[in-house]
A and B are shown apart, each in its own frame.
Chain A
Amino acid sequence: GAVVSQHPSRVICKSGTSVKIECRSLDFQATTMFWYRQFPKQSLMLMATSNEGSKATYEQGVEKDKFLINHASLTLSTLTVTSAHPEDSSFYICSAWEGQGGNQPQHFGDGTRLSIL
């Protein structure tokens, strides 16, 4: 089945550091990828939709200058948390649509647990 690889799985760093998270579709091409954030005991919250070759679409309340998204190829999207602070600590998960999306399931990466000290 479709596999999405997300790296790194865990990051612990000091406040003010920028952190890059990679999301790769290993055996399919993904025109559209999604970035979610999930706080403990809460549901997934969509941050942005990443489209290959164009600017990402951010959800309301998500700072695009804080969370930089680059989708440079059909198999890779990256999320960079710039100048991270403790309140950015969360579980970040990417997903990708197999095929043209719509009625196709989103396949999720394993997530990245970000802890800012």
Chain B
Amino acid sequence: GQNIDQPTEMTATEGAIVQINCTYQTSGFNGLFWYQQHAGEAPTFLSYNVLDGLEEKGRFSSFLSRSKGYSYLLLKELQMKDSASYLCAAVDSNYQLIWGAGTKLIIKP
């Protein structure tokens, strides 16, 4: 079956760096998305990776290893507003999104 695994919850300190991991098993693979979702709001797009390697976009970076079925989202210089859930979603061979359950990130002062 198809499956996405990511930690349920993580805690980090303001100003620090945090890495949120995501492993996936899908029938075929056409890329992986990361979304941010604040409580009570809809998800917003953060990044898309389809090739191996690191994509940097400001304070946020996303990494993909296709051979390992693994991705991570790296958040630097954490701010209180980064407290949110981070959703990992892989695109399968039918271009369907397979969603992870999300990682709730708690930022402490």
Contact = CB atoms under 8 A, between A and B. Distances in A.
12 contacts: A6-B42, A43-B102, A44-B43, A46-B97, A91-B40, A93-B43, A102-B91, A103-B30, A103-B91, A105-B45, A106-B33, A108-B43
Interface residues on B, range: 10 to 19
B83 to A, nearest CB: 15
A42 interface: yes
Contacts of A110: 41-42
Given A42-B101, A44-B99, 7 more contacts: A46-B97, A93-B42, A103-B31, A105-B45, A108-B43, A110-B41, A111-B41
Q: What DSSP secondary structure best describes chain B's contact surface?
A: loop
Interface residues of A, number: 18
A41 to B, nearest CB: 8
Interface of A: 6, 42-44, 46, 91, 93, 101-103, 105-111, 113
Interface of B: 30-31, 33, 40-45, 48, 50, 87, 91, 95, 97, 99-102
Contact of B87 (A44, A103, A111): A44
Nearest to A103: B31
Contacts of A46: 97, 99
A101 B95 contact: yes
